[in-house]
Amino acid sequence: MPVMSPTPRENDTTERVEVPLPRETSRELWLLVGVFLSARLMSIWWFQPLHSEVGTFYFPFAWLQGRGVFPFLHYWFEHPPLLAYLVVALRYLSLALCGAGDVAWERLCLVRTTQVASVVWELASLHLLYAMAKVLRGPKAATRACWVYVALFSTGFVSLSFLETFPVFLMLASLYLAFYSKPAWSALVLAGGFMAKMLPVGILPAILKCDARWRWRFLSLVVFLGGVAAVAAPFLGAGRRWLLLSFECAAKRPPWTTAWALLDRRYDFGYVGPGAKDQTPDFFAERSGFGVVPWAREVLEGVPREVFGPPGMNRLVFYHIAAHFATNLAFLDSRPRTGETFLWVYGGVGVALGVFYLLTFARMPSALPPRRRLFLGAFTMFLVFFYAKGWSPQFVLYLVPLLLIAFPLGEGGLWSLAFTILVFLEMPVWVVYVHGRPDLLMADQLLLHGITIARTALLLIVAARLYPRLFND
């Protein structure tokens, strides 16, 4: 058995492939890029989604930069520092490109700047998707997989509405480097992905299977932890408590829109902030017990109210922002509503899943060939999303590229379409048109349960389809 798995070659495919002429392939790829860029950029110019995470929830934080208030120095953020300071950088870039103006103008500029940046990262992700799929199934099949990616509603929706394209690019870049037997570089890139959104950590086991020698595995772990420490280092002084609160929020945040949320009788989407009863000026008072820093109320009340969105969203967003200045996260409602039942079931499933995964990892060879490293990364990511407490529609962007790389187009495309349909039913159908309407209470419950159960089943089915590929070339 080789100590180091070989680097994949261009003809290292798993099935018979039809290889088109290079000129034909090149022209189709340029057409693909042209269609992708024109569709995304024209959508940015003319068609805007009903919801923009940047415009709704990130813009107020970006506005506070002008007051000298920054994440992890003056407040905590529900995502790690790399994503938080990406928003900081995009805010400065939008001001440099568009100039200052009224609130509506500056919000629009930040949203459009973020959307253009998302297209750049998405184009890089599309290249990585093509490169890995090409090695597995040849250039023609890889190009078709990219066409499916471009055509799906879910990828365009997430690209225009969220910042997910950045951590997804880092996840795919890390998997690509592991695929090409560069574990140290892969671990370094993955550290960036982890400090942007934490979810890409599922690629780490694939990195550890690049080399059978323990010293090289240990080196990969050291590089990963060193990269994480390097990103965290600027905040370990004055911002240490805010950094710890960010990870505490991830641990204490109650489940939302998953099977675990249904088990705990939670039928809402993931809102990080105080509940309706705590959305009062008393939230800032010392007697509330939330430990909001004393100067936060004065700073936030000095911000123009339109920064926090339209009248219907104003109060919700204001207290969402205010919650990030609290040093006690008791407002998160993290105590299980079903008591010990939830803890026993969720904990029991976690133990069983952990044991199963460790046995699977140990059963595999010490060093996997490239394609099986890819399958291991995809398999782990699907298990991560199965066991994760929460699910948001933008998470589909982590899954679609993995499906199109790991499976032949007929299967991977169908799985991607199934996840896309569920995402559409969740947002906008459930979130915008059904949820919270008293006259649609029955439809609200049925739709949420149906979407959640179907998604959970799909995650398990795809993981089961990937499992045999971990042991066979």
So what's the pLDDT on residue 16?
47
Whole-number Å distance between alpha carbons of 26 and 38: 18
- The structure's pTM equals 0.93
Nearest partner of 456 among 255, 218, 217, 251, judged by Cα: 255
8 Å CB contact between 402 and 245: no
Checking if the pLDDT of 472 tops 90, the result is: no
pLDDT band at 273 (very low <50, low <70, confident <90, very high): confident
So what's the pLDDT on residue 326?
96
Whole-number Å distance between alpha carbons of 59 and 107: 6
Checking if the pLDDT of 238 tops 90, the result is: no
* Helical residues (DSSP H) of 256-310, grouped into ranges: 259-263, 296-301
Residues, the chain: 473
Instruction: Give tens-digit pLDDT for 396-444.
Output: 999 999 999 999 999 999 999 999 999 999 998 999 899 888 889 899 9
Instruction: Give tens-digit pLDDT for 356-384.
Output: 999 999 999 999 999 999 999 999 999 99
C-alpha distances out from residue 379 to 134, 311, 342, 455, Å: 20, 44, 26, 16
For 118-162, the DSSP string reads HHHHHHHHHHHHHHHHHHHH-HHHHHHHHHHHHH-HHHHHHHHH-
Residue spans per domain, the chain: 22-238+338-470
Looking at residue 306, the DSSP 8-state letter turns out to be G
So what's the pLDDT on residue 270?
79
So what's the pLDDT on residue 14?
46
For 34-76, the DSSP string reads HHHHHHHHHHHHH---S--HIIIIIHHHHHHGGGT--BTTTB-
Checking if the pLDDT of 12 tops 60, the result is: no
So what's the pLDDT on residue 3?
52
- What is the helix, strand, coil percentage profile of the chain, to 5? 75, 0, 25
So what's the pLDDT on residue 1?
42
pLDDT band at 334 (very low <50, low <70, confident <90, very high): confident
Long-range Cβ contact pairs of 253-257 (< 8 A, separation 24 or more)? 253/78, 253/332, 253/334, 253/389, 253/390, 254/332, 254/333, 254/334, 254/389, 255/389, 255/390, 256/389, 256/390, 256/391, 256/392, 257/390, 257/391, 257/392, 257/426, 257/448, 257/451, 257/452
So what's the pLDDT on residue 102?
93
Whole-number Å distance between alpha carbons of 224 and 465: 29
Average pLDDT over residues 312-339: 91
Count Cβ neighbours within 10 Å for each residue of 216-235 and write b for 16 or more, e otherwise: bbeebeebbeebbeebbeeb
8 Å CB contact between 387 and 349: yes
So what's the pLDDT on residue 20?
53
Average pLDDT over residues 191-199: 97
Whole-number Å distance between alpha carbons of 279 and 64: 20
Average pLDDT over residues 53-79: 94
So what's the pLDDT on residue 2?
44
Helix 165-179 crosses helix 103-137 at what angle (to 10 degrees)? 20
8 Å CB contact between 12 and 5: no
So what's the pLDDT on residue 11?
44
So what's the pLDDT on residue 23?
75
Q: Residue 164: what residue type?
A: E
